[in-house]
């Protein structure tokens, strides 16, 4: 995968380096317009990939996978402990939200182009304004686009979005359409677009713009960010989380108790 290596967890090869190493790697690939993809699986991804073969293949085709969800990190550490795999490097949690913010700032300061596509109406613009303000970057370095709902199923509208991206040629392309739509769309049209590194980033624009509050650092560090998000949006996330938990728990137990073939 890369010079820093990877670890297999839930059947997916996940980047095993440090956060700073990954950021440097992404900027290097982006500057060369390498057309790479980065996906950030959490528990929801793992459950979906378990029953959705097409989505599982989309994840496997990604150039880089990082462990966004703390349960992935925990499963890997527990597996190492149970099977005494002291030689394996423990995974580090690398979230899409942190990457969106930190990489955008770094890219704009370096004069690279950044595109925010998706999010709710007006949110990407607010997020871009914050990045430009904090980086003292030029406005020409950041593009935002709010595609109409369902654009991906309409040939002309989908082509318009792709053309807008190709005209701008972003070094970093952040797509916030929600999962699995964003990952499927990036994977499907990767070779039709001109970019450096593309990410599926979910609600990251909201966190940067301040339209949604991200959990405090101490909650993130103990792996309870999902509880914070549930309290913030109980109606939208409640059913999803509580239908997800039993399935993920079974997959988690299988993963930590089966010795890896690698």
pLDDT tens by residue, 23-62: 999 999 999 999 999 999 999 999 999 999 999 999 999 9
Residue 162 lies in a domain: yes
Residue 1 lies in a domain: no
Q: How many domains does the structure of the chain reveal?
A: 1
Dist. CA 65–CA 41, nearest whole Å:
7
Residue 262 lies in a domain: no
Range of the domain at 234: 6-257
Collect all residues with Cβ–Cβ distance below 8 Å to 80 and sequence separation of at least 6: 86, 88, 90
Segment 78-130, tens digit of pLDDT: 888 887 775 567 789 999 999 999 999 999 999 999 999 999 999 999 999 99
Backbone angles phi, psi at 152, to 5 degrees: -65, -20
- Kindly give the pairing relationship between strand 64-65 and strand 114-118: unpaired
Cα 244 to Cα 42, 164, 203, 226, 253: the distances in Å are 11, 36, 19, 12, 14
Dist. CA 45–CA 11, nearest whole Å:
12
Dist. CA 204–CA 127, nearest whole Å:
9
Give the pLDDT of residue 138. 67
Q: What is the mean pLDDT of residues 224-235?
A: 77
Please check whether residue 104 is in contact with residue 131, taking contact to mean a CB–CB distance below 8 angstroms: yes
Segment 192-217, tens digit of pLDDT: 999 999 999 999 999 999 998 887 88
Residue 80 lies in a domain: yes
Q: How far is CA 30 from the centre of its chain?
A: 16
């Amino acid at each position: 995968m890369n010079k820093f290596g990877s670890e297999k967890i839930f059947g997916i090869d996940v980047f095993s380096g440090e956060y700073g190493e990954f950021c440097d790697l992404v900027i290097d690939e982006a500057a060369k317009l390498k057309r790479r993809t980065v996906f950030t699986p959490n528990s929801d991804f793992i459950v979906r990939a378990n029953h959705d073969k097409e989505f599982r293949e989309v994840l496997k085709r990604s150039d880089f996978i990082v462990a966004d969800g703390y349960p992935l990190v925990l499963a890997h550490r527990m597996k190492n402990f149970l099977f005494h795999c002291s030689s394996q490097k423990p995974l580090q949690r690398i979230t899409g939200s942190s990457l969106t913010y930190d990489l955008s700032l770094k890219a704009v300061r370096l004069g690279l182009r950044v595109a925010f596509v998706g999010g709710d109406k007006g949110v990407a613009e607010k997020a871009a304004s914050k990045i430009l303000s904090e980086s003292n970057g030029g406005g020409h370095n950041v593009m935002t686009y709010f595609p109409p709902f369902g654009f991906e199923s309409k040939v002309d509208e989908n082509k318009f979005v792709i053309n807008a991206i190709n005209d701008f040629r972003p070094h970093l392309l952040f797509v916030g359409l929600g999962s699995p739509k964003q990952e499927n769309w990036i994977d499907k049209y990767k070779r039709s677009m001109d970019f450096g590194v593309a990410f599926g980033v979910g609600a990251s624009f909201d966190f940067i713009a301040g339209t949604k509050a991200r959990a405090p650092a101490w909650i993130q560090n103990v792996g309870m960010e999902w509880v914070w998000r549930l309290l913030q949006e109980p109606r939208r996330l409640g059913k999803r989380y509580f239908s997800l938990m039993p399935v993920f728990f079974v997959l988690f137990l299988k993963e930590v108790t089966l010795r890896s073939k690698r």
